[in-house]
Amino acid sequence: MRTFSSFLGRAVVTESGRHFGKCRDLRASLGRGRPSVEAVVVGRRGWLEHLGISRPSGPRKDSIPWEAVVRLDGDRIVVRDGTEPE
Amino acid sequence: MSETIDLGLLLVDHQLLDSEDRRCGNVDELVLEGGPGERLEVVAILSGPGAWRGRAGRTGRIAAWLSGGERVRVPWEEVDTIAAHVKLRKRAETLGLGRGDDRLRRYMEKIPGANR
Amino acid sequence: MKVFQIALGILAAIGGFVDIGDLVFNVSAGATFGYQLLWVVVIGVIGIIVYSEMCGRVAAVSGKAVFDAVRERLGFRTSIAALVSAQVVNLMTLTAEIGGVAICLQLLSGLPYRSLILIAGVSLAIVVWVTSFNWIERIFGYGGLCLLVFAVAAVKLHPVWSAIGHGFVPHMQTQNPLLYAYFAVGLLGAAMTPYEVYFYSSGGVEERWGPKDLGLNKANAMIGYGLGGFLSFALMIVGGSLFLGKGIEPQFLGSITLGAEVPLGQIGLLLAIVGILFAVGGAAIDTLFAGAYNLAQFLGWEWGRYRHPSGAPRFTLTWLVLLLLALGAVMTGVDPVQLTEYAVIFSAVALPLTYIPILLVANDRAYMRQYVNGRLANVLGLV
């Protein structure tokens, strides 16, 4: 049994060691049946954006697709080399 | 026709309402099944201070201990809709939620004026 | 008919605006610095108007009260911190207010303080248990209107009006900047009390405000609190006219009532005491419920002021326990006026923790209209 909060805060890295930041959320698709996780959300939401004071310039690239995850390792989420945030 | 949501933002820590719109706890934790290389799905919601143990490290454990550590598992199939609140398909008692209120109510009803 | 209702609501808001923090800080500020700090009160009033309106809007559009929003937005650790600090401040404020009620009863009846504390506490509990909240708001709101006697007193004391006008312009001429800052912070904290915001937003959710009620919400907030602000001005003017330079520090509620007695005699005194009694008593009830709301909302319990007690048992138990704790605290003989000072300063410090989540939620998902700049100005004004 895995819990949602066990994912939070884990460092997201590629097999060769490239860092994408920490997992701060999971993106899932609702539909019929159970929600299925599609992506790991990394990075921090800018505080000013959060307050609504500045707008994000363009689409933020903060999600790593779940298919790219190869293993969960101690306190890290390891993804395939060559993955790019979307 | 499927919608994508950020679980932490739109699901976790939100209020649970039962089928009669009665407040019966919060979404304190989600239970997932699956892993790398396969589907990862949300299978249940956990509600109650006991679910805090895994969150917020020591603070969570202390808070859970202070509040009695009870928690209830609500299978995902019981979820009706997700909007401002998470609405469930059945009544709270059926799902084991809101027990604190129910237990206390039996005593409180004996005090005059409590049922105005 | 609708206008009449609105007018009634506004009257209740005026009477309910002033609480023991406002009384103590406004009069003391007047006694120490004359009219120089009037401009700070203006900022405070604008602040509470903006934030109340924001909370009301959040309640109407999303169906959430402040602590629901805090829980959802700020993550677990921060919201526990917010909860604990809010409850501590709430309890301090509640204790001070009950003490204030007891003092007023003592001034009116001459009975011993200790017994009056119990009487005050029990009466509050009974009133809340038995009376419907609409009536509670009316009774305490209208009773608080007696405080208008201070407005009359302010005029009758023939203050130097040009000096008052001067006080509205931000400036500072004093050898004691630290003390000035202390009062400024205190005045802001007294005007922008967190418990009022929790109380207001929870009420909005309970009354099921919808988007169509937004106009009413704004009007209520602006007019009610705006006029309430006038009472604060009056208090400071009275403090300045009467106590400045005479070395009188209004440390006792009795001294504050002097402010009405000197210009207006016995009637002034009576009205002042009654006004304080109702305003502080009403504030005590708001604070009490705010504390119960916060806990219930954080834990997802059923809650509500309009429900009968057994409709929300844990919520009811919470406010009963809070009342008992506050009564116990007052019984220890702590001085309500001193405690008020601590409570107000603490709540001023905790203001960001209270108001930033509101800001976050109100900016999230495009609600009716976004006026980001107005809020920006207030975040600055706050922090």
Least confident of A36-50, B14-28, C284-298, C367-381: C367-381
Residue B43 has pLDDT above 90, yes or no: yes
Residue A47 has pLDDT above 50, yes or no: no
Nearest-angstrom CA–CA distance, B79 and C97: 44
* Residues C378, C356 contacting (CB under 8 angstroms): no
Coil, strand or helix: which one is C50? helix
A53: contact with C, CB 8 A cutoff: yes
**Residue from C54, C58, C359, C368 whose CB has the most chain A CBs within 10 Å, to mutate:** C359
The b/e string for A27-51 (b: 16+ C-beta within 10 A; e otherwise) is: bbebeeebbbbbbbbbbeeeeeebb
Q: What does the pLDDT average to over C321-340?
A: 85
Domains of chain C listed by start with CATH number: 18-382 (1.20.1740.10)
The b/e string for C60-93 (b: 16+ C-beta within 10 A; e otherwise) is: bbbbbbbbbbbbbbbbbebbbebbebbbebbbbb
Query: Hey, what amino acid is at C268?
Result: G
Q: What does the pLDDT average to over C99-118?
A: 84
pLDDT bin (cut points 50, 70, 90) of residue C249 is: low
Choose among C93, C150, C108, C109: nearest CA to C280.
C93
Residue A51 has pLDDT above 60, yes or no: no
**B31/A3 touch (CB, cutoff 8 Å), yes or no:** yes
Distances in Å between the Cα of C11 and the Cα atoms of B10, C225, C228 are: 39, 10, 9
Task: State the pLDDT at residue B78.
Answer: 92
| CA-based R_g, chain C, Å | 20
Task: State the pLDDT at residue C47.
Answer: 82
Nearest-angstrom CA–CA distance, C328 and C118: 9
Higher-confidence residue of B64 and B21: namely: B21
Q: What does the pLDDT average to over A37-47?
A: 76
Q: What does the pLDDT average to over C163-168?
A: 74
The whole-angstrom distance between B91's CA and the closest CA on chain A is 20
| CA-based R_g, chain B, Å | 16
What pLDDT, in 10s, does the model give residues C43-78? 888 888 888 877 877 777 777 787 887 787 777 777
Q: What does the pLDDT average to over C328-337?
A: 83
pLDDT bin (cut points 50, 70, 90) of residue C369 is: very low
What pTM value is reported for the model?
0.82
Report the percentage of chain B scoring pLDDT > 70: 95
Residue B31 has pLDDT above 90, yes or no: yes
Choose among C90, C86, C105, C93: nearest CA to C24.
C93
Task: State the pLDDT at residue A75.
Answer: 86
Domain segments of chain A as ranges: 4-79
Domains of chain B listed by start with CATH number: 7-108 (2.30.30.240)
Least confident of A68-82, B5-19, B86-100, C207-221: C207-221
Higher-confidence residue of C272 and C250: namely: C272
pLDDT bin (cut points 50, 70, 90) of residue C373 is: very low
pLDDT bin (cut points 50, 70, 90) of residue C366 is: very low
Residue B113 has pLDDT above 60, yes or no: yes
**C309/B114 touch (CB, cutoff 8 Å), yes or no:** yes
Query: Hey, what amino acid is at C240?
Result: G
pLDDT bin (cut points 50, 70, 90) of residue B74 is: very high
What pLDDT, in 10s, does the model give residues A5-28? 888 888 898 988 888 888 888 999
Least confident of B19-28, B55-64, C88-97: B55-64
Q: Which chains touch A (3 or more CB pairs under 8 A)?
A: B, C
Choose among A72, B91, A51, B112: nearest CA to C379.
A51
| Cβ neighbourhood burial of B20 (10 Å; 0-12, 13-18, 19+) | exposed
Nearest-angstrom CA–CA distance, C93 and C346: 10
Higher-confidence residue of C371 and C111: namely: C111
Residue C91 has pLDDT above 50, yes or no: yes
Encoded tokens for B60: 């969570």
Task: State the pLDDT at residue B1.
Answer: 43
DSSP letter string, C189-228? HHHT-HHHHHHHHHHHHHTT--GGGHHHHHHIIIIIIHHH
Task: Give the one of A1, A28, A69 whose C-beta lies nearest to B4's C-beta.
Answer: A28
Task: State the pLDDT at residue C368.
Answer: 38
**B31/A5 touch (CB, cutoff 8 Å), yes or no:** no
Question: Across the A/C interface, how many CB contacts are shorter than 8 Å?
Answer: 19
| CA-based R_g, chain A, Å | 14
Task: State the pLDDT at residue C379.
Answer: 55
Task: State the pLDDT at residue C2.
Answer: 64
Task: State the pLDDT at residue A59.
Answer: 56
**A2/B31 touch (CB, cutoff 8 Å), yes or no:** yes
Task: State the pLDDT at residue B45.
Answer: 93
Distances in Å between the Cα of A72 and the Cα atoms of A14, A76, A86, C381 are: 11, 6, 21, 46
**A50/C360 touch (CB, cutoff 8 Å), yes or no:** yes
pLDDT bin (cut points 50, 70, 90) of residue A54 is: very low
Task: State the pLDDT at residue B79.
Answer: 92
For this complex, say whether ipTM is above 0.90: no
Task: Give the one of B24, B85, B109 whose C-beta lies nearest to C310's C-beta.
Answer: B109
B36: contact with A, CB 8 A cutoff: yes
Query: Hey, what amino acid is at C55?
Result: C
Dihedral (CA of B116, C1, C6, C9) sign:
negative
Range ranked top by mean pLDDT from A31-40, C32-41, C153-162, C264-273: A31-40
Tracing tokens 């844990």 back to the chain, one arrives at: C314
Q: What does the pLDDT average to over B19-41?
A: 90
Residue C372 has pLDDT above 50, yes or no: no
* Residues B89, C285 contacting (CB under 8 angstroms): no
Encoded tokens for C312: 């929300």
Coil, strand or helix: which one is C29? helix
Task: State the pLDDT at residue B77.
Answer: 92
What pLDDT, in 10s, does the model give residues C226-235? 888 888 888 8
Task: State the pLDDT at residue C185.
Answer: 84
What pLDDT, in 10s, does the model give residues C180-189? 888 888 888 8
B111: contact with A, CB 8 A cutoff: no
Q: How far apart are the first and last CA of chain A?
A: 28
Q: How far apart are the first and last CA of chain B?
A: 47
Distances in Å between the Cα of C77 and the Cα atoms of A2, B60, C66, C330 are: 21, 8, 17, 31
Q: What does the pLDDT average to over B93-97?
A: 85
Encoded tokens for A11: 């460092």
Coil, strand or helix: which one is A53? coil
Name the CATH code of domain A4-79 (choices 3.20.20.100, 1.10.10.350, 2.60.40.10, 2.30.30.240). 2.30.30.240
Task: State the pLDDT at residue C363.
Answer: 65
